[in-house]
Structures are given as C-alpha cells and as structure tokens.
Amino acid sequence: MRNGVNHNRPRNGLVAALDIGSTKISCMIAKPSADHSSGPGLDARIVGFGHHVSKGVQSGIVVDMDSVEKVVRSTVEAAEQMAGENIHDVIVNVNIGKPKSRLIAYEVSIAGHEIGDADLRRILDPKGLVENEFNSSEVLHKIPVGYSIDGNKGIRDPRGMFGERLVVNMHIITADSGPIRNLETAISRCHLGVETKVLAAYASALACVVEDERQMGVTCVDIGGGTTSIAVFFDGELVHADSIPVGGQHVSNDIARGLATSLHHAERMKTLYGNAIPSSNDDREVIKVPLVGEENNSEAWQIPRSMLVGIIRPRMEEILEMVRDRLVQAGFDKVAGRRMVLTGGAGQLPGLPELAGTILNKQVRVGRPLGMDGLAEAASGPAFSTCVGLLNFALNENQDLSYDTYKQGTLQANGRLGRLGHWFKENF
Ligand SMILES: Nc1ncnc2c1ncn2[C@@H]1O[C@H](COP(=O)(O)OP(=O)(O)OP(=O)(O)O)[C@@H](O)[C@H]1O
Ligand SMILES: [Mg+2]
C-alpha cells in the first residue's frame, strides 16, 4: 500500500511512465536491459502494467485532486505489484495548459573560425535565452531541429565546419504552468516524483510512428477521450505540436443525447456498431437502444444503424476539420508530406482512416505502440500509445535539451537520432 512514508530506496534502474488521460489512467514500468553490448541504445522490457478508469480529469486537466490521487495510487500499485518492485519517479505526459509550439532561430557569430563545442554550448544553452522569453509558461521541450551556417541550411552537426554566422533552429514547446502544477501536485500526493514531463502528442508519436515516416514527414494525430493531439515530424525531428480539447467522449455524448440513452450504452453502441462512414447495409441493420432510466425495459427502442452513423460522422468530421484548420494555420498542412498516423482510443473507430484521408488529403494508417517487449495484449492498442511513448522518450529520445535525466547520467544516450545526442549528454 502506498502510504505517507517517503520511499528512499536505492535506484533499481526501472523506468516508469504515468499517463493521466481523460478516460483512463495507465502506468507502465520498464526494466532496461543490462546488456549494452548490442549498441548505444537501450533495450527494455515492460515488467509492470496497471490501468484504471479515470476520475477527476477533464480534457486532460485535473479537476478533482482527491479522485485523481486515488486512481493514480491504485494504478501505480497494480503496476508495482506486477513488477514486484516499487517506483519512486514517473515520466508523465502533459496534454494541458494550451501547449504552444514555436520554431525559433538563434544566431551566434563564428567570425571565420572552426565551430567547436564551445560555440554549440553558447548557442544551445538551455538556461539562457529561452526561459526568459516565456515567463508565465513552462518550457516542456527544446529540440534543436537543424543548423545553418551563413544561410546554408540542413546541417545536422556543425562542429568542424567554418563560417561567419551559425544559426540553430530550435523547436520550443511551452504550456501554461498552472494546470501543470496541479498535475504535479496530484502525483506528489501519491509520493511519486516527476522525473520528466513529455507532451502527450510527442509521446504518442514516439510509440507508433516508424523512423522512415519521421524522416519522410508525418503527422501523428492521437484522438483520446477528451483531447485530440497533433505532432508533426519533418526530417526526423518534431517540428510542430498542437492540442484540441475534443475527443471520443464528445462523440459518445452526442449519441447519448441524440438517442436519449445513457452514456454507458452510447459508449457501448459506438464501439460495437459505430463507423465514421456510412455503408449500404446501414438502413437494414437494427440496433436496440435502451432508453435512459428504462434500462430494464425489455421493449427497447430500435434504430437503424444509419442513425448511429449519422450522429458519429458529423462530430468526427468536425474534429478532423479542426485538425486540418490548425495545421493550415500553423503552416504545417503540406510541409509534413502526405503521411498521417491515427492513434488514441478514439482513433480506432472503423472508417476513420478513410474519412481522415479525405478531409486532410493524406494517406492514413492506424498506429499502435510498436517495438516494446513484454507489452501485454491489453496494453497493445492505440489507447496506450502515449504511455509506451513516455518510456520510449526516456529510453531513446534524450537529445531533447529539456530532459534532465541524461544530465544526471542515469540513462545512456541513443545515437539513433543523430550524433549530437551523445554530445548533449556530455555537455548539459
Ligand atoms: N473501438 C473503439 N472505437 C471507437 N472509439 C473507441 C474504441 N475504443 C475506445 N474508444 C474511445 O476512445 C476514447 C478513449 O481514448 P483514450 O484511452 O486514448 O483516451 P485518454 O487517453 O483517456 O484521453 P485523453 O488523451 O483525451 O486525455 C473514448 O472516448 C472511447 O469511447
Ligand atoms: Mg490519451
């Protein structure tokens, strides 16, 4: 039982992820492999998993601290029990505080000399320039996405090169600090520390997008219960992220209201018979709808499936159009190519890839978490992309300048994402 004692156990090498979602809270514990001989990356195996229906969270925001605390405790305890070990710190996702994504260019003068470590340290100093510009919000990620020397773009590692002016393009993601503090407070009430925070959209994409897609350019859209989050990768790097406070719960609410049934039955009908696009059989197929307050009445209302699809489709269209409009506004509708990966619980709705393909003019596939050993069947669906992605972030993605763990030297940098990963680890 998690109690008031502050656990001060020695580090057991475990990495733990906590996803506080609008409909479910999940925790995964991974054990990195002790054998590093296979390369610079870390292999890991999931040894603990717990999940629970969420309470006290609306569109990702903590609205009832006590309820969240209770659910987090029991979820983490379930994962700890399965792992047979306790955890102290968690990597947590952030899908709140109106996350903002900005690409900023910083410039330093090189004056003709060879670019070395000192120049990079000056230009990438995570403490300096960046924090001052965003006083009321918290900087979640600072990702160097490319360098240019004297206007020549596309440089991945400028060291050893010559020039007059060195520019780094930095992708900075910020979010309002108030809601993040509440999230941290709920977690600390469970006697857990927050090891690092990762934007939900980023985490989801790390779990279900493959490296080739990242290189080619891809948009990953996680449609959850109360939020829809967007991550755009280009040239291997996360270049844009966004979040909209709508999701699958809005679809279920529409069904409940439209068919005068309970939310529970609306949810059930959506997952059993729902579709985002109509089919020719829809008028012939009949679905029973228990009316709200009359669940035990054997003479339930009957509707053709086309009526259900007729409620689901406009809401899904609206959500996808919002995604498209946000991408257009930010100028990322075309930049990231034509590939799109749909994930999140509500991303599983049949017919959604086709609808999304038409609205966003992209080739769409559904993405589920990839490549993590020990992932239980129950945790292998698109709803768990964020949670698996949090582990991926901790294990592989540590070239992000805001990630503290590698500063402490507790995890090894993975060279997969560019040679600079190791350099960052050594220097910040
Ligand atoms: N098979 C399915 N078809 C359609 N929708 C589904 C299916 N399974 C789950 N959903 C929907 O997925 C949503 C939950 O998704 P998910 O678990 O990703 O949300 P969450 O992470 O808790 O919420 P958020 O990320 O928005 O905070 C619910 O609205 C649920 O109705
Ligand atoms: Mg989610």
**In the chain, what are the domains?**
100-175 (3.30.1490.110), 250-307 (3.90.640.10)
57 Cα nearest atom in ligand 1: 27
249 Cα nearest atom in ligand 1: 29
**Which ligand is nearest the CA of 342, by number?**
1
* Nearest-CA residue for atom 2 of ligand 1: 271
Q: Which long-range contacts (CB under 8 A, 24 or more apart) does 177-184 make?
A: 177/97, 177/136, 177/137, 177/138, 178/97, 179/61, 179/62, 179/96, 179/97, 180/94, 180/96, 180/97, 180/138, 182/61, 182/62, 182/65, 183/20, 183/62, 183/92, 183/94, 183/96
**Which ligand is nearest the CA of 381, by number?**
1
* Nearest-CA residue for atom 11 of ligand 1: 346
CA 384 to ligand 2 centroid distance, Å: 8
* Nearest-CA residue for atom 29 of ligand 1: 248
**Which ligand is nearest the CA of 203, by number?**
2
- Residue 409 has what pLDDT? 31
Around ligand 1, the residues with Cβ closer than 6 Å are 21-24, 54, 60, 95, 224-227, 247-249, 252, 267, 270-271, 274, 344-346, 348-349, 383
* Nearest-CA residue for atom 15 of ligand 1: 345
Alpha-carbon separation of residue 113 from 30, 106, 109, 167 (angstroms): 45, 18, 10, 15
**Which ligand is nearest the CA of 183, by number?**
1
Q: Mean pLDDT for each 10-residue chunk of the chain (428 residues)?
A: 38 88 96 59 83 91 93 97 95 91 85 86 63 71 88 85 89 91 95 95 96 94 97 92 96 96 95 96 91 74 95 98 96 88 98 98 96 85 96 74 37 36 48
- Residue 72 has what pLDDT? 97
Mutate to test the pocket of ligand 1, among 230, 271, 277 (most ligand atoms within 8 A of CB): 271
- Residue 125 has what pLDDT? 66
Mutate to test the pocket of ligand 1, among 18, 20, 22 (most ligand atoms within 8 A of CB): 22
CA 76 to ligand 1 centroid distance, Å: 20
229 Cα nearest atom in ligand 1: 25
Asked whether the beta carbons of 247 and 225 are under 8 A apart, the reply is yes
Instruction: Give the DSSP H or E segment for 86.
Output: none
- Residue 133 has what pLDDT? 56
* Nearest-CA residue for atom 5 of ligand 1: 346
- Residue 69 has what pLDDT? 95
CA 175 to ligand 1 centroid distance, Å: 23
Interior CA angle at 274 toward 270 and 276, to 5°?
125
